[in-house]
Structure 1
Amino acid sequence: MSAEPAAVSAAMAADTTAHGACETGETVRSYLRRLRFQDPALIERLAAECVERARRRVSRHDPAELSRRAIEEAQRRLDQALARALGVNAGREPALIAAARAALLLADAGVTADEVYLTASANPALASRLSRHLPQAQPPEAPASMQPQKLRFFLFKSV
């Protein structure tokens, strides 16, 4: 037996991995454009970073998982940028971040994802432009008090 079949299979695996990464990169670039990123250089850089980060977490032979993880990374980066621009903690304010993402993607707020992503710290002007377009509950939320209820248990005597 010679080492040629091993070298050929290794080259084929590397080619398949490169082809899968190329397809994943295009998928992530398309997703970033749907997230309203406009600058081609920023889209290329973000897509490469997202694919590289996903590649570290995924087996080389699973292109579907690589694509899913890369898109999740792109979404996470947008959410972190929104939290940074609004001056909130993304982990503690997930509803606000989701509302800001909806305002960015669904409303014509005059804000691009590029502007949000490139913001280094809390930006009150950007936050005010987004807050005008935050979705509101319909009908508006109105907390009501609940009447006290008696509790009765089958095995225990309690009232």
Structure 2
Amino acid sequence: MSAEPAAVSTFMASESTGHGTSEIGETVKSYLQRLRFRDAALIERLAAECVERARRRVARHDSAELLRRAIEEAQRRLDQALARALGVNVSREPSLIAGARAALLLGDLGISADELYQNSAVNPELTSRLQRHYPVPQPPEAPGAMPRQKLRFFLFKSV
């Protein structure tokens, strides 16, 4: 029901579907490194947690679904860390989180995902560094006025 992020779908398309549990763990570790996690111990722990959480939601022999859910869990954890650093709610501010994720992954800010993940509270310094590098839409957003439209219904009178 939710749209799968393009990075996840392209990452999974490059991987084969016949993974064993250890191969899925290695794939999730690789994905965490692409998300700019650098600490090897943290990557190891997060990958194990993501695979374990995904395992609870997947049938036993569906390794492709296990891989997909484990990668989604890794993405969710990064989004939660970004929301915690910015002091916002993930579900209420998805565009803000998406902008912060783009700034983190596309920009060379000197911020690793490790710093974000290990922060337990709002960090104004990290927030300001991320906000300076938010992507800007091209062309800039310019909402236009929509003229009034008369509604016509087939079986009922027009309103």
Judge same fold: TM > 0.5, yes or no: yes
Q: What is the CA-CA distance between 1:97 and the residue it aligns to?
A: 0.9
2:89 maps to which residue? 89
Structure 2: 5+ residue stretches without partners: 1-18
Mapping of 1:1-159 within 5 angstroms? 20-153=20-153, 156-158=156-158
In the alignment of these two chains, the number of paired residues is 141
Instruction: Give 1:58 shift.
Output: 1.3
**Secondary structure of 2:20's aligned partner:** helix
User: How far off its partner does 1:156 sit?
Assistant: 4.7
The offset of 1:38, in angstroms, is: 0.3
Contact 1:110 1:129 in 2 (8 A): no
Decide whether aligned partners of structure 1 residues 146 and 51 sit closer, same or farther in structure 2, where only a CA change above 3 A counts: same
TM-score, normalisation: structure 1 = 0.81
Structure number with the higher helix fraction is 1
Gaps of 5+ in 1: 1-18
Return structure 1 stretches of 4+ with deviation > 4 angstroms: 152-157
Percent of residue pairs identical: 76
What CA distance in whole angstroms lies between the structure 2 residues aligned with 1:150 and 1:144? Answer: 19
Task: Give the superposed CA RMSD.
Answer: 1.7
- Give the TM-score of the pair, scaled to structure 2: 0.81
